[in-house]
Structure 1
């Protein structure tokens, strides 16, 4: 997906979470390890919920922010949704799945931080700031939940 406006950033994020939800759900049906299977199902549901929340940003965000062009974007290489499912989640261990998902969310957070540092319009800074808070909070929640599962 070519990203040229903040609307595209929101759509890219929504699409990425949707893609991950489908990928993780599909891999959960092929996973043999019970704990990893549970994790993949949980992560698929979590990504599907995130996709819906991000879709809400598209509906509620200031149109001025959404239609703002990204001029400095070219120098940053964001995650490509098609690459995010190249990992064979069905063959990975619980810890390997966690590492992959945390890395993915950290890349999204880094992308938002990059954009936040380059926005000059208050509406776009607020939009990216809200998306950054959402991704950061959800990454922390995932870490907490997966750590609890490790303890079982």
Structure 2
């Protein structure tokens, strides 16, 4: 998907989370380690919910922000959903899965931080800031849940 506007960015992010949810769900059916299987199922649900939450941003956002061009994105290396599922989650350990998921979320957060400072209008800056806060909050929530599961 080519990202030209902030609306495209929201759609891309939603698709990334939805694709990851499907990938994790599929891999959970093949995972043999109980704790890793639970993690994949939890992450699949989490990513599906996060994808829906991101999609709601498009409905609530200021149209001026949605239609603002994202010129600076072109110089940023894109994250493709296919990279997210190229790792064989079904064969990975609990810790390896955790690292992969956090790496992906860190890349999305880094992209939003990059774009936040380059948004041309206040409405676009506010939109990216809200998306950034959502991603950061969800990453922290994931970290808490994964650490709890790790302690069990």
TM-score between the two structures when normalised by the length of structure 2: 0.99
**Moved >4 Å (runs of 4+):** none
How far apart are the structure 1 equivalents of 2:7 and 2:61?
9
Q: CA deviation at 1:73?
A: 1.7
The superposition leaves residues 26-81 of structure 1 with CA deviations (integer Å, 9 ceiling, x where unpaired) of 00000000000000000000000001101100111011000001122211012111
How far apart are the structure 1 equivalents of 2:6 and 2:82?
20
Partner of 1:3: 3
* Structure 2 unmatched ranges of 5 or more: none
SS of the counterpart of 1:9?
A: helix
Partner of 1:81: 81
Q: CA deviation at 1:118?
A: 0.6
Number of residue equivalences: 152
Most deviating of 128-137 and 70-79:
70-79
Most deviating of 69-78 and 49-58:
69-78
Partner of 2:145: 145
* Structure 1 unmatched ranges of 5 or more: none
RMSD: 0.5
TM-score between the two structures when normalised by the length of structure 1: 0.99
